[in-house]
Copies of this chain bind each other. A is one copy, B any other.
Amino acid sequence: MPKSTVSKLVPKVPGVSVPGASRRQQYSASTKRALVDVAESLFTEHGYAATSLDAIVAGARVTKGALYHHFSGKQALFEAVFERVETDASRAIQKALRGKKDPWEKALAGLRAFLTVVQEPRYRRVVIQEGPSVLGYERYREQEERSTFANVLEIVRSVISAGTWELDEDMLQTFSRIFFGAMSSAGETVSSAEDPIAAAERVETAITFILQGFQALADAGVELPSGRSESS
């Protein structure tokens, strides 16, 4: 379809029509959504570098003019996709946490939700695989910080504070980072395993075991050192 000048004549399906917006604004928001939708799909399937803007605008049935009207460039478009995937993931995890009061139960529910999220191709590709490279580590970290990682931190905080110890903020961050990395890697293992279900069970077993270690230490009254440990 080389020319699609008629496309602006057909009424664009406005997704969710916001009542307090003019028709122009609705159309605009619609094309923007369409761009992000197509971009998310193509980025997920072929990756960032292998996806051309021409393919994206063709899929959204607009031209590059529209794209550059809404986004400052390819990277900004990727960022919009990234943010949406992250937000969805974070919401899914928070939904799983809702209602759980016991911190250990909460942790397990969070783990399972995360293991589910990390199976999504779009999350794997956009966030884990290409996020650090495309956004750069700084921006990547900023985004993670206020979405998925925030959930992990909250879980760790509740688990820690439920134990007998208490912890300064730095150590809490450190523990959270470690668990976050552990879960990311575990999720990657699960999603790329030949048998993801069995792999997920193994991960759950392993994490549970580690948490049991924590409980054992708590029962034994071992303190959590927050200062420096003497090195040999």
Q: Which residues of A contact B (CB under 8 A)?
A: 47-49, 124, 128-130, 132-134, 136-137, 141, 170-171, 173-175, 177-186, 188-189, 192, 198-199, 201-210, 212-214, 216-217, 220, 222, 224-226, 228-229, 231
Contacts and interface: CB of A to CB of B under 8 A. Distances in A.
Nearest to A227: B205
A203 B178 contact: yes
Contacts of A129: 132-133, 137
B174 A199 contact: yes
Given A185-B185, A209-B217, 12 more contacts: A47-B133, A129-B132, A132-B132, A174-B199, A180-B185, A181-B186, A201-B231, A204-B231, A208-B229, A210-B210, A212-B222, A216-B222
A203 to B, nearest CB: 6
Contact of A174 (B170, B183, B186, B216): B186
B229 A192 contact: no
Contacts of A178: 182, 185-186, 203, 206-207, 210
Number of copies: 2
Nearest to A216: B216
A229 B205 contact: yes
Contact of A48 (B133, B185, B189, B217): B133
A108 B82 CA distance: 36
A171 B202 CA distance: 6
A177 B189 contact: yes
A220 B136 CA distance: 46
Contacts of A213: 210, 212-214, 216-217
Contacts of A184: 181, 185
A206 B133 contact: no
A202 B64 CA distance: 49
Contacts of A231: 201, 204
B207 A141 contact: no
